[in-house]
Copies of this chain bind each other. A is one copy, B any other.
Amino acid sequence: MAKVSQTQRLRDLLEDAIIQGRYPPGGRLDPEALEREYQCSRTPVREAIQQLAMSGMVRVVPKRGTFVTQLSVAELVERFEVMAELEGMCARLAARRITEDELMGLREAHEACRRMAAAGDANGYYYENGVFHQRIYEASHNHFLAQEASRLHAVLQPYRRMQLHMRHRLERSLTEHEAVLTAIAEGDGQRAEAEIKSHVQIQGERFNDLVASVQQLQQTGSD
């Protein structure tokens, strides 16, 4: 049943690897290494890379090579701004449209986050946090919106990860989730939107943290 093309397989694998930070932002993707690693020719590699480029995960610098997208601070701010808006829209719609089953699923995702936060497991939280947000996207009952939100979320994942390792970020994040969940459960779209926007937005000290992280990343990646 899982009869997928090499191109698709490669694309998914690379995407996961990038999201999980196994290919660091700014790092070069060597086509020949990928050919050997995945036992295929240039064509699937090339196509997978093109598709990743389309979705913004990698950047192709003509005649220089393809690199994992390394967003500048300015580009990151732009994307977080849009992400906040999209998530806000998802939450607003979800508050109106979520089903009982979906609400249960969302609560479960929240509880999973709570367990990870309690255990101080940043990586585990990182994963469950993604599930929580994904559930909200889907509860918007706008498939296209959910898809776009997921795509942008994926691009931002490597940077979110850095945020989550910041001190006390887990507890704060969890508290914010709580507020979002409550608003959605009560069907209060306005509040759900406002809560998740402030959850996603990079503001105050977190902005400085982000700048610091990115700069460190760019130091590391440039050798």
Cβ of A41 within 8 Å of any chain B Cβ, yes or no, is: no
For window 136-170 of A, CB contacts with B under 8 Å fall at: 142-145, 148
- A22-68 contacts to B (CB < 8 Å): 47, 50-51, 54-55
Determine if B54 and A148 form an interchain contact, defined as CB atoms under 8 angstroms apart.
Answer: no
A50-B50, A51-B54, A54-B55 in contact; A145/B89 too (CB < 8 A)?
A: no
Chain A contact residue count (CB 8 A cutoff): 18
Report if A81 contacts B (CB, 8 A): yes
Shortest A189–chain B CB gap in Å is: 13
Q: Indicate if the CB atoms of A148 and B51 lie closer than 8 Å.
A: no
Number of copies of chain A assembled together: 2
B-contact bits for A85-102, CB 8 A (1 contact / 0 none): 110010000000000000
- Which residues of B are found within 8 Å of A51, using beta-carbon distances? 50, 54
Name the CB-closest residue of B to A52.
Answer: B54
A205 partner residues in chain B, CB cutoff 8 A: none
Cβ of A223 < 8 Å from any Cβ of B? no
Partner of A142, one of B54, B82, B142: B82
In the complex, the answer to whether B78 meets A89 with C-beta atoms within 8 Å is no
A47 in complex: contacting residue of B50, B81, B144, CB < 8 Å: B50
Give the residues in chain B near A89, CB-CB below 8 Å: 82, 85
Cα(A9)–Cα(B81), bound, Å: 32
Assess whether A78 is in contact with B145, with CB atoms less than 8 Å apart. yes
Q: Indicate if A79 sits at the interface (CB-CB under 8 A).
A: yes
Our pick among B75, B78, B82, B142 for the contact of A81 (Cβ within 8 Å) is: B142
Contacts of A145 in B (CB 8 A): 78, 81-82
CB contact under 8 A between A78 and B47, given known A54-B54, A55-B54: no
